[in-house]
Structure formats: C-alpha cells, structure tokens
Structure 1
Amino acid sequence: MILGIDHIGLATDDPDGVAPFLSALGLAASDRGVAEAYGVACEFWHRPGEPAHPAVELVSPAGDDSSVAGRLADPGPGLYHLAFTVDDLEADLAKLRAQGFTAVDREPCAGARPGMRVAFLYARRPAGLLVELVQYDDHPAAG
C-alpha cells in the first residue's frame, strides 16, 4: 500500500547551484548518498526539524553512465520523479504494472539512503511521469 510521498526528485548537473534556492525556500540539506545501481548522487533537503515530511531530492550524475544523463540532455534540468513510500515494494510494483505502469526496474535496487530499496515505473501517457516506489528496511513488510 502506498503510505505517502517520500520525496520529489529534481534532476540537476549543478546541485551546489540549486542549494541557495532551496535554502531560500526554508529547506536544509539533511542527508546524501549515492545510488550505485543508477549512477546518481542524491541530496535530500527538508524543512529543519521535520525529517519525516516529504523531501526534495537533488539527483545528479555520479559518473558517465548515470541514468539521469539523458534527462539532463533533453529536456534538461527540472522535475525528475515523484517518490512514494510503500509498505510492500514487490506487491506494489506488481499492482502498478497490472494497472498500466511500465516497469523501469526488473527488481528493486538499493537506494541512496541506508536501508532504502527502490523501484522505478513510468506512466508515459498522459502524464509523462516517472514514479519511484520506496521502502525502508525498518518497515515491517521490508524484505
């Protein structure tokens, strides 16, 4: 079951350049990591003192084979994906595939945070929306 919004991903090749804008919006960098399977570096930004609320994630290339490189080339930096926290990643992945989403990942992968597993799906039409499902190890249904 989808439990809520985990974060909104923004694609950028200049996270240091985006930082002042996020700070001006009242957000602060809370944690960062690398999602090796996707070749991306991720910075998570929250309102200070509110880490349980949805974050803004800056997603940037961590190498030449980064999954975000194509997005940055065309159409360019900007909204990249919407991520939802789920309680059973495999079941929710199967459910959304059955409802017309196209799976980007065959199986869940390690995310950028410790204990984070993720899987991406795409709803090309009519929204052109990339969706990330997120499950944390500390959730009872985590596998």
Structure 2
Amino acid sequence: MILGIDHIGLATDDPAGTAPFLAALGLGAGDRGIADDYGVACEFWRYSDGIGQPSIETVSPVRPDSPIADRLAKQGPGLYHVAFCVDDLEGEFARLREHGFVPVDAAPCAGARPGMRVMFMYARRPAGLLIELVQYS
C-alpha cells in the first residue's frame, strides 16, 4: 500500500547552490547520503517541524556514469522524481507494473538514508514522470 509522498527529487550538479533557495523557503538540511547503486549523492531538506511530512531531495552525480549525470546533460537541472513511501516495496512495484508503469530497476536497491530500500518506475505517457518507491526497515 502507498502510505504517502516521501520526498520530491531535484536533479542538480550544484547541490550547494540550491541550499540558499531551499533555506529561503524555510527548509533546513537534514539527512544526506550516497546511493551507490545509482552513483548519486542525496541531501534531504525539510521544515524543522516537518517530521512525517515530505522532504525535498537534491540528487547529484558522484560519478560520470550515473543516470543523473546523463539526465543533467540532456535536460539540465530540475524536477527529477516523486517518491512514495510504501509498506511492501515488491508488492507495490508489481501492482503498479500491472497498471502500466515501466520498471527501471529489476530488484530493490539501497537508498541514501539508513534502512531505505528503493525501486524506480516510469509513468511514461502521458505524464513522463519518474517515480520512486521507498520502504524503510
């Protein structure tokens, strides 16, 4: 079951440059980490009293073969994905696949936060939206 929005991902090659804009919106830096399977560094920003509310995640490449490096080269920075927290990662992945979502990942991968497992899918037409399913242990 989908429990809610976990975060909104922003693609950038300058995460430090986004900090003043996110801070001006009242967000504060929180968790950060590397998602090795994807070759990305992630920083999660949220409101100080925003426990349980969605975060904004900056996603930047840590190696040239990262999918985010390719995305930045083709489209530049901007909205990258919407992440949904789920209680059954593989079950929701299968269910959404039956509804026409296109898998990106073949198996769950470690996310950038401790205990975070993720899988990506596309809603190609008509939305062109990359979604991430997130489950915490």
TM range (shorter): over 0.9
- Aligned residue in 1 for 2:95: 95
2:73 and 2:42 mapped to 1: Cα distance? Answer: 18
1:67 and 1:51 mapped to 2: Cα distance? Answer: 30
Q: State the shift of 1:65 in Å.
A: 1.6
**TM-score, normalization: structure 2?**
0.98
Q: Deviations over 1:32-58 (max 9, x none)?
A: 000000000000000013232100000
Q: Deviations over 1:12-33 (max 9, x none)?
A: 0000000000000000001100
Write out aligned runs for 1:1-143 (5 A).
1-137=1-137
Runs of 4+ in structure 1 displaced over 4 angstroms? Answer: none
**What is the DSSP-based 3-state SS (H/G/I as helix, E as strand, rest coil) of the residue aligned with 1:68?**
helix
1:35 and 1:51 mapped to 2: Cα distance? Answer: 22
**What is the DSSP-based 3-state SS (H/G/I as helix, E as strand, rest coil) of the residue aligned with 1:97?**
helix
**What is the DSSP-based 3-state SS (H/G/I as helix, E as strand, rest coil) of the residue aligned with 1:106?**
coil
Q: What are structure 2's unaligned runs of at least 5 residues?
A: none
1:67 and 1:81 mapped to 2: Cα distance? Answer: 13
Which amino acid in structure 1 is aligned with residue 64 of structure 2?
D
Which amino acid in structure 2 is aligned with residue 39 of structure 1?
G
Superposition CA RMSD, Å: 0.6
Q: What are structure 1's unaligned runs of at least 5 residues?
A: 138-143
Report how many residues are paired.
Answer: 137
**TM-score, normalization: structure 1?**
0.94
1:48 and 1:133 mapped to 2: Cα distance? Answer: 24
Identity %: 69
2:49 and 2:131 mapped to 1: Cα distance? Answer: 27
Q: Deviations over 1:86-128 (max 9, x none)?
A: 0000000000011100000001100000000000000111000
Q: State the shift of 1:64 in Å.
A: 1.4
Q: State the shift of 1:72 in Å.
A: 0.4
1:120 and 1:82 mapped to 2: Cα distance? Answer: 10
Which amino acid in structure 1 is aligned with residue 128 of structure 2?
G
1:54 and 1:7 mapped to 2: Cα distance? Answer: 5
